[in-house]
Amino acid sequence: MTPSQRLDATFVALADPTRRAILARLATGEASVMELAEPFAISQPAVSKHLKMLERAGLISRGRDAQRRPCKIEGEAFAEASDWLERFRDIWEANFDRLDSLLAELQAKPRTMKPAKPKSAKSTGPKSRKRKE
């Protein structure tokens, strides 16, 4: 794999929330596939698939112990890629969260495209707002 392919693999690996959660868990110490599968509502084969992608990206390594093959985070590769990716993602996450609020506000108070119905006295319960438990 060329360095640039490696980096692409890293970005792909980091794009998935489950894989980021696995990395967060491994940041606290080594773990086996079974231990990693526990907190997630997914099967061991599914976790294994995620681990393969993380390993391919050089973000983790697997131990030699055939039984357990503990997974370990590879700090260096992680630091290189996560620096950029996380900074970039953080900015856009913050931007888009603000946009969510703005869009909710705009839908709650439709601008003067059509006259508001007289009965909407207060804008506390816009119909576009879904009530979800």
Partner 1 sequence: MTMMKAKAPVEVTTPSDREVVVVRKFNAPKALVFDAFVKPELIKRWLLGPDGWSLPVCTIDLRVGGKFRYVWREDATGTEMGLSGEYRAIEPPDRIVHTETFDDYSPEGEAVITTLFREKDGKTVVEMSMLFPSKTARDGGIANGMTDGMAISYDRLDEVLLAI
Interaction site with partner 1 (CB under 8 A): 3-4, 6-8, 11-12, 14-15, 17, 76, 80, 83-85, 87-104, 106-107, 129, 132-133
CA neighbours closer than 13 Å in the CB half-sphere of residue 38: 7
The answer to whether the CB of 80 falls within 8 A of the CB of 36 is no
Instruction: Pick the closer one to partner 1 by CB: 60 or 77.
Output: 77
Q: Residue-wise over 49-62: b if at least 16 C-beta within 10 A, else e?
A: ebbebbbbbbbbbb
Instruction: Pick the closer one to partner 1 by CB: 38 or 97.
Output: 97
Cα Rg of the chain, angstroms: 22
Question: What minimum distance in Å lies between the beta carbon of 29 and partner 1?
Answer: 25
Instruction: Pick the closer one to partner 1 by CB: 21 or 68.
Output: 21
Question: What minimum distance in Å lies between the beta carbon of 56 and partner 1?
Answer: 15
